[in-house]
Structure 1
């Protein structure tokens, strides 16, 4: 894993596009990660990529938690554990930053993602509307 740099921006945007396009029909609109400003996120040091750009995770430190804003894996590589490795990396980063928890949100219609996060120890903490979408809020407390 490494931080993305400006030279990765086109590949990052392509990866996000490819990863989230199948969800448009499920959600009924473009998922929020497709609307993000990746130039700004990369410049802020928020985008972490795998070697080979097979996956990425966007992490935003907050007061009391590390926000997992986006996880994307190349669709042809689903089922190979890349997403789980990205989530494990997020836990390592939270610990490195001294943050006691991680939080994330996902669309209520992304049932497979909700199930994956639950299997990783995330618990639902609420549901909210975000930019015309219904989101499930989830959180994982880290052991000391």
Structure 2
């Protein structure tokens, strides 16, 4: 089940994010951006979705509306949720919400060193638009056009 996060989900959301991004700390030499986000504020603004399984929050999705696209700002899974198709379900949720809002594309970015993400997102129909340094992070920007 995917639903909008509630304030009581904050601790679980933060735990999923910390666990999902912790393996990248050594590779990047610092905590990835999502580890420093204010999930209380994001939840209060209605930007966070949670995917629940039998054990609770198994994945999270952060969606930020933009003028002409929906920014898929973060997708993270608990370790127990990997390999169960939950990541694809969360991306499909983002696509559905973008379409429902009348938007024609979904955007995202990932760190240049998170190479496995580049491959995964390309497999899901995203293409690279550019690379840039933003907030001190070397990022790869991608987007996916959405059919009506």
Please tell me the TM-score bracket, short chain as reference: over 0.9
Which residue does the alignment assign to 1:85?
89
- The answer for unaligned runs of 5 or more in structure 1 is none
Answer yes or no: is 1:127 the counterpart of 2:131.
Answer: yes
CA offsets, 1:3-50, max 9 Å, x none? 001100111111111111111112221010001000000000000001
- The answer for unaligned runs of 5 or more in structure 2 is none
Q: How many residues align?
A: 144
TM-score with structure 2 setting the length: 0.95
Which residue does the alignment assign to 2:48?
47
Answer yes or no: is 1:118 the counterpart of 2:122.
Answer: yes
Runs of 4+ in structure 1 deviating by more than 6 angstroms, as ranges, are: none
Which residue does the alignment assign to 2:108?
104
Which residue does the alignment assign to 2:8?
7
Answer yes or no: is 1:58 the counterpart of 2:95.
Answer: no
RMSD: 0.8
Which residue does the alignment assign to 2:19?
18
- The one of 65, 69, 75 equivalent to 2:79 is 75
